[in-house]
Chains A and B, each alone.
Chain A
Amino acid sequence: MKFSIQVNEGPYQHQASDTAYQFAKAAIAAGHEIFRVFFYHDGVNNATKLAVPPQDDRDIPKLWSELSKENNLDLVVCIAAAQRRGMMDVDEAKRQGFEDNNLKEGFRISGLGQLIEAGIESDRLVVFGA
């Protein structure tokens, strides 16, 4: 089956991102396809490359990033939600006149249309959080 996943909460405060990650991993292991993972609301904060969680805890942005690398997973961060919350890739940072960016490798920033498209293209859209 072709799944898409929406993550609506940031890392650590809510379990939504952890559960979505476990779901994605299990779905891939079972031979399903993940068309896209879309990060919305505070979910955009899962894409930060500046998180330094304690060593004995999971590194949620890193887990997503690695899962993306291993499975060519499309991780999309909503640009409208990201701009509000200060999540930027290199291009967007330049455009806004910031020296720094904070988007982790494996994630990309794009529009809400990517969420609608994911709903249209997938057999199931599974929403985590909110």
Chain B
Amino acid sequence: MAVKKFMYVNRKAPYGTIYALESLEVVLIGAAFDQDVSLAFIGDGVYELTKGQNTDGIGQKNFSPTYAALGDYDVNKIYVEKESLEERGLTLDDLQHLVWEDEDEDWAEKDSIRLVSRAELADVIADQDILLSF
């Protein structure tokens, strides 16, 4: 069975609705299937990756540390749309520093986040076999 390109498109803020959390659950389960996996964060979805999240005031679990574990699941292509960040007054420095270890290069630590323009992301999306949008 040929490997398919799976992309999870994250479009919602981390809290307020459950889409972000349940999307992450699909990504973690899906990682066991040895497919070509990537994630995209667009629109309010970029808030999912912000660092320093604190949910004490809303009585919900802060699940943002889980994103840092994605590298261990071989999920290391994380596309963040530049325009979405800019529209929200955010920069890469506001996001978690997500990394993975490349076993082909003596476990060198590499960045997982790829900052791409809207046009570039459109090309990446067009190249996918399966798009799961949350």
List chain A positions with a Cβ less than 8 A from chain B. 6, 8, 40-41, 80-81, 111-113, 115-117, 119-120, 125, 127, 130
Contacts and interface: CB of A to CB of B under 8 A. Distances in A.
Given A6-B132, A40-B22, A41-B22, A120 B29 contact: no
A117 B6 CA distance: 11
B107 interface: no
Nearest to A85: B18
Contact of A130 (B25, B131, B133): B133
B32 A113 contact: yes
A119 B130 contact: yes
A19 B49 CA distance: 32
A40 B8 CA distance: 14
B48 to A, nearest CB: 14
A40 B4 CA distance: 21
A113 B133 CA distance: 17
A111 B30 CA distance: 11
A112 B30 contact: yes
Nearest to A127: B133
